[in-house]
Amino acid sequence: MIAYINGKILEKFDKTIIVVANNIGYEISLAGPEIEKRKIGDNISLYTYTYIREDQIAIYGFVSDEELIFFKKLITSVPGVGPKTAMELLAVPLAKLKAAILAEDLVSLTAVPGIGKKTAERIILELKGKYEILAGSERGYKGIGHTIDENVIEALTRLGYQKNHIQTILRGMPENIAGAENIIKYFFQNV
């Protein structure tokens, strides 16, 4: 099993990167915001989880052991949450994700691509009482990501963009951006 890798980024794709360590390239699934932060040629160190099924072997990467532990808990404790869905959840900052679970915030959890109401309910049911998993969640919780005026999302969907695509881009928006005009400007700069 590969538990940790340190190397250089050779290639970047939508949901994976190729890391070269000791002249061997490893394709590693990584949360979208982490991929966006990195450049080809950057050194990277990741905790990893090797997922093996009869038709697939995949490596999932995490910048902290806390993310790795949370990922393992999601895929082993929550029925219906596999590695790909867990990685979508981990695209949200971990402290905000934990706070959403503690607050039983179904709206924020279902805003994550691939998470429906029943899956969000199962996540809350299975993880809410696990202190060791939810320690370190954000104080003063205000939902996952920004509170974005529904008019902004409606305007962008009228322009032909998919709601989950809009939410994915706006999830990475810096905290200091506010106001409909600035949010829309940020969206178009990051499409």
Question: CATH code for 65-134?
Answer: 1.10.150.20
Per domain, the residue ranges of the chain are 4-62, 65-134, 150-189
Q: Is the dihedral of CA 66, 91, 170, 11 positive or negative?
A: positive
User: 19 with 8: CB under 8 angstroms?
Assistant: yes
Please name the residues in contact with 177: beta carbons below 8 A apart, sequence gap of 6 or more: 146, 183, 186
Could you identify the residue written with the tokens 């993880």? 127
Domain 4-62 carries which CATH code?
2.40.50.140
Fold: same for 4-62 and 65-134? no
Instruction: List per-block mean pLDDT (blocks of 10 residues) for the chain, which spans 191 residues.
Output: 92 94 95 89 95 92 91 90 92 85 85 88 84 51 53 77 77 73 82 77
What are all long-range contacts of 179-182, with beta carbons under 8 Å and residues at least 24 apart? 180/149, 180/151, 180/152, 180/155
pLDDT digits (tens, 9 = 90+) for 88-140: 999 888 888 888 888 888 888 888 888 889 999 999 888 877 655 555 544 44
- Please give the DSSP secondary-structure letter assigned to residue 137: P
Query: Considering the entire predicted model, what is its pTM?
Result: 0.68
